[in-house]
Structure 1
Amino acid sequence: MVGLVKTLHTAYRVSDLSASLHFYTALGYTQVGRVDLGGGASLTVLKFPEEEVVTLELVHRPDDGPVDIGTGFSHLVVQVDDLAGTVDRLLRAGLWPGPVDQPAGPYGPQTSWLSDPDGYRIELVQWPPGHPAGITAADFG
């Protein structure tokens, strides 16, 4: 029998740590800590204020050159309670979220997309009232 298994956090390699920190703190993350790896390289860990544990790690390795996301990465999803308010706040912070959309129709989730300084795509999601916090088997009938 396997013991506890769960996802802990996502790690992104970033080209410009300062620009990435501005982006992710504007999104609502807070910096929990930073580990200096030497030679200008570092690991910076972030979480949303309501979260108990770190959920995002920014890996900065300037000697590795610019980040190349390639075609294998799709996106990170961030849940918000008030998508219209979040989009407005992000616009005021100098970020460029896309328009609010309802891809599953008027009774489904609302979404908006934006990209971080390295091109990682972020999907902001506001679930409809009464929906669990995340996708469940019930979403597939």
Structure 2
Amino acid sequence: MKTLFVSYRVTDLDRSLGFYTALGYAELGRVDGGDGNHLVLLKFPGEPAASLELVHRPDGGHVDVGSGFDHLAIQAEALATTLQRLTDAGLEPEPVQYPGGPHGPKTSWLTDPDGYRIELVEWPSGHPDGITEADFS
């Protein structure tokens, strides 16, 4: 088994698509669920398949992100460049942090229009993509 994608329910589909395409996602496809409901599948260029789904149900009411979800983590190859691009696109990433000390990963946080938190991570040189068992040895 493997994780296919994360799915977020969003209040305003156009606003959320604007945010996530500014972040770097590309629309892979849409499913019309009828009654104004839509699913939009997104992926980053270079990813082999969808990694994020936006679910829009106009009659679904307010989106409550405080129900146990914490955040989405996204790897950035060059965090400083990514943060500049996001700022230029009108997004508001937080300052760089070094949660593992000066030789660990660099991170920055971003919040989407519905309040979902996104952690942007740049691994130190030589670190493999993602978190592996080696990070805990």
TM-score between both structures, scaled by the size of structure 2: 0.98
Question: Could you report, residue by residue, the CA deviation over 1:74-106 in whole angstroms, capped at 9, with x for unpaired residues?
Answer: 000000101001001101111000001111111
Distance in 1 separating the partners of 2:134 and 2:17: 36
- CA shift digits 1:16-49 (9 cap, x unpaired): 0011001100110000111111111100000001
Is 1:89–2:120 an aligned residue pair? Answer: no
CA RMSD of aligned residues (A): 0.7
CA distance in 2, matches of 1:121, 1:59: 17
2:2 match: secondary structure: coil
Q: Does 1:75 align with 2:71?
A: yes
Q: Give the whole-Å Cα distance in 1 for the aligned partners of 2:96 and 2:29.
A: 33
Give the count of matched residue pairs: 137
Q: How does 1:117-136 map to 2 (within 5 A)?
A: 117-136=113-132
Match among 41, 51, 69 for residue 45 of structure 1: 41
Alpha-carbon offset, residue 139 of structure 1: 0.8
Structure 1 partner of 2:105:
109
**Match of 1:65, as an amino acid?**
G
Structure 1 residue runs of 4+, over 6 Å off?
none
* TM-score under structure 1 length normalisation: 0.95
CA distance in 2 between partners of 1:85 and 1:95 (Å):
14
What are the ranges of 5 or more consecutive residues in structure 2 without an aligned counterpart? none
1:58 and 2:54 aligned: yes
Report the AA paired with residue 75 of structure 1.
H
